[in-house]
Amino acid sequence: MEECLTSGQDFVFQQDGAACHTSKKAIKWMEENNLPLLKWVSSSPDLSPIETLWHEMKKVLRQHPAQNFRAIIYYNFQRQLSQQECLAELLSVFGNEAPHQSTISRWYGEFKRGRVSLSDDSGLGAPKTAVTQENVDAVRKLIIEDIHVTYREIKASLKISKTSIQKNLHVELGVRKLVFRWIPHLLNEEQKAARVNWCQKRLDRFNSGNSKNVYSIVSAGHISTIPLNEQRTVTADWYTTICLPKVIPELRKINPERRIVLHQDNASSHTAQKTRQYLTEGNVELLDHPPYSLDLSPNDFFTFPKIKNKLRGQSFQSSEEPVDAFKNTVLDLPANEWNKCFENWFERMQIRLTLDFLRNAVVSS
Q: Where are the domains of the chain?
A: 2-40, 189-364
pLDDT at position 120: 62
Backbone angles phi, psi at 260, to 5 degrees: -120, 125
pTM of this prediction exceeds 0.75: no
pLDDT at 121: 55
Q: What is the pLDDT of residues 156-186, one digit of tens each?
A: 788 888 888 888 787 777 776 655 555 555 6
Q: Which amino acid is at 101?
A: Q
Statement: residue 67 has pLDDT above 80: no
Residue 222 DSSP symbol: -
Residue 75, SS3 per DSSP: helix
Does the domain spanning 189-364 belong to CATH 3.30.420.10?
yes
| Average pLDDT of the residues in 116-122 | 68
Distance CA 170, CA 181 (A): 14
Across the chain, where does the E strand assignment appear?
Answer: 175-178, 181-184, 217-218, 260-263, 284-287
If you average pLDDT over residues 215-241, what whole number do you get?
82
Q: Kindly report the average pLDDT of the chain as a whole number.
A: 81
The larger pLDDT score, comparing residue 108 to residue 96, is at: 108
Vertex 245 angle, CA 241 and 250, to 5°: 160
Beta-bridge partners for 13: 37
pLDDT at 126 over 60: no
Query: What angle is formed at CA 275 by the lines to CA 221 and CA 184, rounded to 5 degrees?
Result: 75
pLDDT at 125 exceeding the cut of 60: no
pLDDT at 169: 81
Residue 19, pLDDT > 80, answer: no
CB of 126 closer than 8 Å to CB of 161: yes
Q: CB of 296 within 8 A of CB of 348?
A: yes
Please compute the mean of the pLDDT values over residues 96-111 and round it to a whole number. 85
Torsion-angle region of 291 (φ positive above 0: left; ψ -120 to 50: alpha; else: beta) = beta
> Residue 350: its pLDDT value, please?
92
Task: Encode pLDDT of 265-281 as tens digits.
Answer: 888 889 899 999 999 99
pLDDT band at 247 (very low <50, low <70, confident <90, very high): very high
Contact 364, 322 (CB under 8 A): no
Task: State how far the Cα of 236 lies from the Cα of 136, in Å rounded to an integer.
Answer: 25
Instruction: State the Cα–Cα distance between residues 56 and 53, nearest whole angstrom.
Output: 5
pLDDT at 127: 44
